[in-house]
Each structure stands twice: as C-alpha cells, then as structure tokens.
Structure 1
C-alpha cells in the first residue's frame, strides 16, 4: 500500500479517536529510498494486526521531517516510527524529543548509523521489533529504551552566514566531508568507500581547533590537561566529533565512542605527506592501526574526549552532519546535547 501525504492544520477534532487499548502511531517515511516503500508495505499490515491506530506522512525535499513530526505530535501520536536514514532522524528528533514521544527506527537509508549502533540489524529486524514492542505496550508492558542525545552544531558558511542545526552521530570538516561529497548513494555503503577513496588525496587545510570540556567533565576526569585546550593553526586532513564507534562499515574508527555518552570522541587526522607514495604509506598505516583495533596508536590519528569542539579555517572547507553535506564552512562548532530522544531498542 503506498503511503499518502497528510497535510493541513490539526485541531482537536483531528485527534485520534482510538478505542481503549489501541495505540496512536505516527509514521514518518522518506520515499527517497526504494527500501522505504517496501518496508512500509510490510509494516502497515503488522500494525493493523497489532491493533494500532496509525497516521502516515511522507517527507519531501522542502520538508525533510520536522514539519511532519510537528503535525503528528499535534494529531496526538503516542509513538512515532521513522522509516528512513540518519538525515530523516536528525530532522524529526528535536520535535519528538521536546514532546517526549517514544520513537522507533526502521533503517531504510544508506548508512543507517544510529540504527546499527542501537542493535537494529536490518529493516526487517526493526519492523519485527517495532510490532512486537507496540503490542507489548498495548498490554501495559514497558519497552527497553535508549536515550539518544541530540547534539548541536553552529557553523559559518563561505558567504559569512551563520547557521544552527542538530545532529545525532557524527560531525566533521575536511576530508571526511569531501568523502561524503564524492559518495555514490546508489552503491550503499560501498558508495561511501568510493567517496573516501577519492578524498584520500585531498589537500590538507589549515585549522585552529579548540576542545572545551565542561566543568562537570573536568571534575570527573583523572587527567584534566585537555580541558579548554586549543591547538595552534596547523595543517590537517580532517577534524571529526563522533558519538558512534563505526560511522561507516565494520571498522571501529572511534573505539571509545558511545551513542548515549555525554561526551564526543574527537579525532584530528593528519597532516599527511605531500608525495603520493608517502601519502599511500601513511594511509596504509592508519588502516592497519584501525584493523588492529588501535587507531589511537598511529601518530596521524589524534583523539580527545570533549563536550565541545570549535574548528576555524583560513579558507572555506566542506563540512558534514550525520553524513549530509552542509556546505563549505569557515567555522564549525559542535556541542554535546542535553536533550534526548527516547528510542526503543532491542534488549542487549
């Protein structure tokens, strides 16, 4: 069954008139990916069998999820299911977190980083978990939850304009964003590998990076030397802040990162040698260190734990949030969020 876009203002008369024991379920789906429609066709009959009362809304280029989430909250959704990737989750998360709505994820995007890190192995696994859990909620049982922080990003684009946005898993500026720019979505995760291969020889850029840890984090830390530390302008390939261990593929690039942690794992990569041969050797060394589970042992992979990172650059450099380009930037500041999204996750 193809989903229909529901629009218009919502008043009290539009709130769901669910019989006792039926759960009001809102569905936000991103039709960009063919997997979304397939998953939706599998999900809806299961929801009906579980006795749920549901309302579906599709995203668009102009309305990527926030507007849809707002409409569903006003409609009276007790639960919202997101069929899409990390970008759709990022767009809806602030609204759902503010409304304290229980959220389910059905990964149908390209990388599906958040879904993988909370234990959802596939879209079918997610649908099964969703239907089983909603049925148990109808019986009065409590679901297993993960409180996922919604992080904040402030950035200045090449035209001097300043912007504010949110992200969940990963933010970066430099080579990692160039890899995103070159990736081929049609190839799935292999498309990111293609983009990364093209970005390996991207020129280093000059950056000034500041780590700002909160007083609370400093008080907990055994070594407070990194609190409020900054680096002088220096050439780097990329600066990233992550809440996930494996942003793409099976390799733990950020082995100390956790999705529900109060801090980021910040990684500065580079600078790399200029000659192609030496650069290949350097990249081979970082790859070997990652495969051995010790990326921090390589001198070109510099890690820190922090709640806030600010990167300023001399000339515009591409930046990304959760694998989506936000443009060429002169400054990127990210801060660990305090507001959290309640996500239903399989029991670990």
Structure 2
C-alpha cells in the first residue's frame, strides 16, 4: 500500500488523495449524540466526494475487534474508530498487519493513543486529517497468549490496580483526575516478585510495584513517563518501578514531572520482546484496558504494523497557528 520513508517519525502522504471506501467503528456508549456524530462524518466525506461510510456499532460482547475485521472484509481502505481506549485497542487488533488505515476519533475519557500522537478530538477536524492524506506507520505490541494488540502501553501490577480501582462514574464526572483516587488506594500494597526477560536473554529479578512496557511515553494528564519512547522506533521502552513507601512515590513522581535524567525507583530498558513472570497472579492492562489477571505477561513488538491517519506537518502547523490566533482574539 505504502512504503516507509526510512526516516524516523515520518508522515507519509497517500499516493492519490482519491475517494476511498471507509467504515466507522463506533462505541455508542461513548458518543453523546450519535446522530450528530454520524452527520459530521458523512457530510465531511461527502463534501470531498467520498462515499458514505459503512457504519458498525460495537457491543458489550464485541468492543471493536469483530467490527474492524468486518470493515476490512468489506473492502474499507480507512476505518474511523470512535470510542474510548478499549474500542481503539480492539480495532487495532483487527487492523494491524492489514494495510488498512485507522483514523482515531477520540470519544472516551483517556484516548491515550490520540493524546500521544496529537490526533484531533473534534470530528470535523479528524475527518479532514483523513482527507488530507497524512499517514504514519507505527509499531504495535502483541500479547503472545491471546494475540491482542496494543499501541500505547502494557503493564502488570500497580498500573492495572489503579485502573481497577477507578470507577466509570468517577471518570465521567472528573475525567482523568479519577485515576489519582484509584492510585491512592494501592500506593502501599506489597510489591510483587518478578522475573523479567528482555529479548530472550537478559534476565532481571526484582521486587517491583509495576512493570510497564511502553510503545509511547505519555500517560493520563499529559505526564511523559518514558521520555525516549517513540511509536515507530522498533523497540519497547520498559519501566520497572520499585517504589514502596509514600515518600518514595512522591520522589518518583517529582522525577517524572521534572524529567530528571535519572528517576529514583524506576529502571529503564529497551527490548522488542518482553516476558514478565510473577510469583502470583497479577492484574494486567493493555492501553488502559484491563485483561484477565495472570502470573505471566509476554509481549512482542510488530514493527510498523499499523497505518495511522495523522496530520501532515504543514497541516499541523496551520492548525496550531489558527488556534493561536483564536486565543489572541479572545
């Protein structure tokens, strides 16, 4: 479909900005006004002469995987994905390796992939990004036991406990701040004994609170935990967090916020294959979505497996300048 330019962080231009077949995978629970959502997408495409998209709604039983695969079978060349992190992750699993481009329409509380890659939250702007033809090939991670994919982060331990301790009601009321309350409940939980294997040969034995496998570096609220993580560099950034006391968590947090060269109680590594094995079943998460607890989390990197619609550099500059002008007038 497209060739990689060979340059890091390359934004590729679609060869021909012609009308293409599209589909929309939408989580109706995460969209406040479904009819308006559909109208904006269909009108934006129609103005450019593109046909009306295939409309596929997620269900509690299938949060997006089956719908993404159905879109590919129907011949879609671009799939809009509208929902929270769970919807986006399910669609990534269905689209990775197909060559079909994914366009993220953020609708949930988190949408970490959109936040990390500067994707537009407004529907009309996101449609324009697709029409402009900017594309980026990014890596995805894959869980060995299930084949589930992720594009942001996988984790075992405290991070998953935090997610489990945060209610949907709280997230709707106060947004990402709700995660802070979920985190507070587990700050002093006992650490887990883990053996971490990197690329099949390097072995680390640790008493850790959490182990994070990052494809990108930014967390909720814009906090950049993994400063060197890029979604197309062919490797994961692995963070092993060993903080136990409240004081240690505070110092670690300061180190992350102020981007210290060395953050206390956090070791950093890189690898393309990672296995985390604990002495007991642990909570686990993929892109902020909880999966079944287990003693092992084993993931491998699939390089440049996902085609993502992103703003072209000149378009991103235009949008930023326009936003600045609006702020000046206000």
Displacement after TM superposition at 1:302 (Å): 0.7
Alignment partner, residue 11 of structure 2: none
Alignment partner for residue 150 of structure 1, among 124, 140, 148? 140
Alignment partner, residue 319 of structure 1: 284
Q: Is contact 2:103-2:130 (8 Å) kept?
A: no
> For residues 318 and 132 of structure 1, do their structure 2 counterparts lie closer, same or farther at Cα, with a shift above 3 Å needed?
closer
Displacement after TM superposition at 1:41 (Å): 4.0
Q: Does 1:270 align with 2:221?
A: no
Alignment partner, residue 40 of structure 2: 42
Displacement after TM superposition at 1:188 (Å): 2.4
Unaligned runs of 5+ in 2: 1-17, 314-330
| Per-residue deviation, residues 231-271 of structure 1 (Å, max 9, x unmatched) | 23x32100111011112122211111112221111001115
Q: Does 1:252 align with 2:250?
A: no
Structure of greater Rg: 1
- TM-score of the superposed pair, with normalisation by structure 2: 0.81
Q: Distance in 2 between matches of 1:119 and 1:154?
A: 29
Displacement after TM superposition at 1:97 (Å): 3.3
SS in 1 for 2:76: coil
Alignment partner for residue 188 of structure 2, among 201, 209, 214? 201
Q: Does 1:92 align with 2:81?
A: no
Q: Is contact 1:316-1:328 (8 Å) kept?
A: yes
Displacement after TM superposition at 1:149 (Å): 1.6
SS in 2 for 1:202: coil
Q: Is contact 1:29-1:36 (8 Å) kept?
A: no
SS in 1 for 2:203: coil
Alignment partner, residue 26 of structure 1: 23
Displacement after TM superposition at 1:193 (Å): 2.2
Q: Is contact 2:129-2:311 (8 Å) kept?
A: no
SS in 1 for 2:204: coil
Q: Is contact 1:243-1:259 (8 Å) kept?
A: yes
Displacement after TM superposition at 1:57 (Å): 0.6
Q: Is contact 2:154-2:212 (8 Å) kept?
A: yes
Q: Is contact 1:269-1:300 (8 Å) kept?
A: yes
Alignment partner, residue 8 of structure 1: none
Alignment partner for residue 202 of structure 2, among 209, 225, 229? 229
Query: Aligned-residue CA RMSD in angstroms?
Result: 2.0
SS in 1 for 2:28: coil
Displacement after TM superposition at 1:339 (Å): 5.3
SS in 2 for 1:150: strand
Q: Distance in 1 between matches of 2:177 and 2:235?
A: 29
Q: List structure 1 runs of 4+ shifted beyond 3 angstroms.
A: 38-41
- TM-score of the superposed pair, with normalisation by structure 1: 0.78
Alignment partner for residue 308 of structure 1, among 270, 273, 277? 273
> For residues 94 and 282 of structure 1, do their structure 2 counterparts lie closer, same or farther at Cα, with a shift above 3 Å needed?
closer
Q: Distance in 2 between matches of 1:36 and 1:209?
A: 45
Displacement after TM superposition at 1:132 (Å): 5.5
Alignment partner for residue 346 of structure 1, among 281, 291, 311? 311
What is the aligned residue count? 290
Q: Distance in 2 between matches of 1:25 and 1:34?
A: 19
Alignment partner, residue 331 of structure 1: 296
Q: Does 1:297 align with 2:262?
A: yes
